């Protein structure tokens, strides 16, 4: 007789069976993979005991592809075919990629048939490749390491991204994972991953403690405020800079070497050598007062310099100051005072620089916590979350509450940006808002999804456009169009629209081709605050113009239909004069002046409107009893 094995919903039929899942920190400079074994999270190392995989990929002319340490070793002798810091290219346009400093690779100039630039492709001896393809190679290597170490196939992975990655950058990361054959259990913000690892390794002094996660990696900077309360990690606010990190510190040292060594980094091979020397000096100065720099550029010239910590800190101080602006903003956004922050966790290899720790501590007015390995903490936190999502800990009460970094909304008449989901809203989230048609008989509606904090669409970023068709023709304002914004746990957006009476539906997965440029992220938030007063005035003006145009359109339609029936010549002339005055005010007047002109036209047309309504009621009642009329009204 066959036995039927049953289990509780969501639990494995074999309770003893451990499902293999990993956490991956896909970093700008280095990447790691970690898992939970025997209840403890640990980073998985290679056969030589090295836990870090350099985020470098080499493409050979013989179609060979090398990843990690082997590729990094080839970077000096074959720099144009070695791609590093590819994380900075994720979700960016060709123009934005060209503006990135420190890029030694050649970009393809190819365009599609429409003349629009394609997703940027990097030229290599093995063919032109995209940032998504390069990242997938790194993820493939991490997947292979994990499966060899764990002795089985992975059921999934939690992949971390900077908290400030926008929708395009997150989608590009997810596409890379799929290309590598990984099932993505979730995209997880790096600061949240660090909080998970830190929260389990150290106990907060009190429930509801607020922790600042300061994450300065190779290419990105994030700062997040999290409230920890009985297993719930709630992100209160997040901010950052997607183009600031250890790479920028390295380039400052490169500039110093070039200046003091009287050399020019004119070719990619020299630049690679300089960057390696700069990284070595930076690491030395994290523990020593001086760093010896010896660089053999060619057979004729050898550079020998000594960089002391004082000079080093002086050159990088402006970069560290740049990280404090997002720190101020995140406190303001969360409505939290510095004194309420109970701990500051340092994440990312660049936080080993003493000046970073010193200035961060001075800003938050407390000692920063550095006893957790800053390179491994993100991967460990991701592994803990992956273990839970894989179903290995059904009794876990851990809950993650991330937020979206920028507001999401839709364009309305007059070029207004109507925010549907405000920035720093906890995700996953679904919110709906009703809109209506603007003109009589309108059978379609164009929907424009935007992102940003400004009041006018022209000042926001366009995400996607789609159309809702086959709307039943009705009078303006009668149709009920429900627009639903859904942001999933990975921070990816889906927008749908439904006409409530007919049930017609249209939807779109918002997958923009490119992410925000480095300056746009900071500019959008700064401008929203600096221009708040002007924006509100612009919005009021636009709203009054839309209302005025609606009134004029309604009056024109009515007069075309029956003006001769209900108006004498003088009344008609007076209404046309008021209409003309309103039209002139729309073009040149203020919001208050337009509002006043609208009220004058509405007052001047009140008797005309009343006559039309009375005539309509008489036509409706003609030849019918009171009972019949009551039955129709009841229906």
Q: What are phi and psi of 402, to 5 degrees?
A: -85, 175
Token code pair at residue 177: 């994972």
d(CA 619, CA 125) in angstroms, rounded, equals 81
Q: Which of 569, 559, 544 is nearest to 609 (CA)?
A: 559
Helix (H), strand (E) at residue 200: helix 190-201
Classify 604 as helix, strand or coil.
Answer: helix
Residues 6+ apart with CB under 8 A from 245: 28, 29, 216, 217, 218, 219, 220, 221, 348, 350
| Residues marked as catalytic | 25, 87, 190, 215
Strand, helix or coil at 422? coil
At residue 176's C-alpha, the angle toward residues 172 and 178, to 5°, is 115
Cα atoms in the Cβ-side hemisphere of radius 13 Å centred on 166 = 30
Distance CA 238, CA 191 (A): 9
The values of phi and psi at residue 450, to 5°, are -130, 165
Secondary structure of residue 495 in the 3-state scheme: strand
Distance CA 599, CA 62 (A): 77
| CA atoms of 138 and 177, how far apart (whole Å) | 9
Cβ-based neighbours of 231, under 8 Å, separated by 6 or more: 396, 397, 398, 399
- Beta-carbon-side half-sphere exposure of residue 569 (alpha carbons within 13 Å): 0
Looking at the DSSP assignment, which residues form a beta bridge with residue 411? 417
**Three-state DSSP class for residue 285:** helix
Q: Token digits for 611?
A: 């006559």
| Alpha carbons 381 and 228: distance in angstroms, whole number | 15
Other C-beta atoms lying within 10 Å of the C-beta of residue 222: 31
Backbone torsions φ then ψ of 465, nearest 5 degrees: -135, 140
Which residue is listed with tokens 């991967």? 379
Contact residues for 205 (Cβ-Cβ < 8 A; gap 6+): 342
Helix axis angle for 246-261 and 268-285, nearest 10°, is 110
Question: Quick check: 491 and 170 in contact, CB under 8 A?
Answer: yes
- In our burial notation (b when 16+ CB lie closer than 10 A, e otherwise), range 341-370 reads bebbbbbbbbbbbebbbebbbebbebebbe
From CA 551, how far away is CA 358, in angstroms rounded?
62
| CB contact set of 572 (below 8 Å; sequence gap of 6+) | 559, 563
């Amino acid at each position: 007789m066959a036995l039927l094995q049953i289990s509780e919903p969501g639990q494995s039929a074999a309770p003893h069976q451990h499902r293999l899942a990993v956490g991956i920190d896909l970093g700008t400079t280095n990447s790691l993979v970690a898992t939970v074994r025997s209840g403890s999270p640990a980073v998985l190392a290679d056969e030589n005991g090295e836990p870090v995989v350099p985020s470098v990929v080499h493409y050979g002319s013989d179609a060979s592809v090398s990843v990690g340490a082997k590729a990094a070793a080839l970077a000096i002798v074959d720099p144009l075919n070695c791609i590093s810091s590819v994380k900075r290219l994720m979700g960016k346009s060709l123009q934005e990629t060209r503006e990135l400093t420190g890029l030694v690779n050649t970009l393809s100039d190819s365009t599609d048939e429409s003349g629009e630039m394609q997703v940027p492709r990097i030229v290599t001896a093995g063919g032109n490749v995209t940032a998504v393809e390069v990242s997938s190679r790194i993820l493939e290597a991490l997947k292979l390491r994990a499966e060899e170490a764990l002795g089985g196939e992975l059921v999934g992975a939690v992949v971390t991204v900077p908290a400030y990655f926008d929708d395009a950058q997150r989608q590009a990361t997810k596409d890379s994972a799929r290309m590598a054959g990984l099932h993505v259990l979730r995209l997880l913000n790096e600061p949240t991953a660090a909080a998970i690892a830190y929260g389990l390794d150290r106990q907060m002094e009190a429930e509801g403690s607020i922790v600042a996660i300061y994450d300065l990696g190779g290419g990105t900077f994030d700062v997040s405020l999290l409230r920890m309360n009985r297993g719930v990690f709630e992100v209160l606010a997040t901010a950052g800079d997607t183009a600031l990190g250890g790479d920028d510190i390295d380039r400052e040292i490169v500039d110093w070497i070039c200046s003091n060594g009287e050399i020019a980094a004119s070719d990619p091979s020299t630049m690679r050598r300089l960057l390696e020397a700069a990284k070595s000096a930076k690491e030395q100065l994290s523990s020593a007062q001086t760093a010896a720099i010896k660089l053999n550029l060619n057979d004729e010239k050898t550079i020998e310099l000594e960089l002391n910590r004082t000079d080093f800190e002086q050159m990088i101080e402006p970069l560290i100051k740049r990280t404090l602006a997002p720190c101020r903003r995140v406190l303001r956004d969360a409505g939290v005072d510095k004194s309420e922050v109970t701990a500051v966790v340092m994440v990312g290899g660049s936080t080993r620089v003493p000046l970073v720790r010193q200035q961060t501590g001075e800003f938050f007015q407390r000692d920063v916590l550095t006893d957790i390995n800053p390179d491994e903490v993100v991967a460990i936190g991701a592994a803990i979350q992956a273990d839970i999502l894989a179903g290995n800990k059904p009794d876990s009460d851990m809950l993650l509450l991330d937020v979206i970094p920028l507001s999401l909304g839709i364009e309305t008449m007059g070029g207004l940006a109507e925010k549907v989901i405000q920035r720093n809203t906890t995700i996953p989230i679904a919110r709906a808002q009703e809109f209506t048609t603007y003109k009589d008989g309108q059978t379609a509606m164009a929907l424009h999804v935007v992102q940003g904090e400004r009041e006018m669409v022209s000042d926001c970023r366009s995400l996607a456009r789609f159309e809702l068709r086959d709307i039943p023709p009705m009078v303006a304002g009668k149709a009920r169009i429900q627009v639903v914004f859904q942001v999933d746990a990975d921070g990816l957006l889906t927008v749908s629209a439904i006409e409530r009476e007919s049930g017609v539906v249209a939807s779109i997965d918002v997958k923009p081709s490119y992410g925000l440029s480095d300056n746009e992220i900071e500019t959008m938030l700064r401008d929203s605050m600096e221009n708040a007063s002007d924006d509100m005035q612009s919005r009021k003006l636009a709203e009054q113009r839309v209302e005025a145009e609606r009134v004029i359109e309604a009056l024109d339609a009515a007069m075309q239909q029956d003006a001769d029936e209900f108006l004498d010549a003088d009344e008609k002339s007076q209404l046309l004069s008021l209409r003309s005055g309103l039209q002139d005010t729309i073009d040149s007047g203020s919001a208050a002046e337009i509002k006043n002109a609208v009220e004058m036209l509405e007052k001047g047309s009140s008797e005309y409107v009343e006559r039309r309504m009375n005539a309509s009621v008489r036509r409706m009642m003609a030849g019918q009893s009171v009972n019949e009329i009551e039955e129709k009204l009841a229906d």
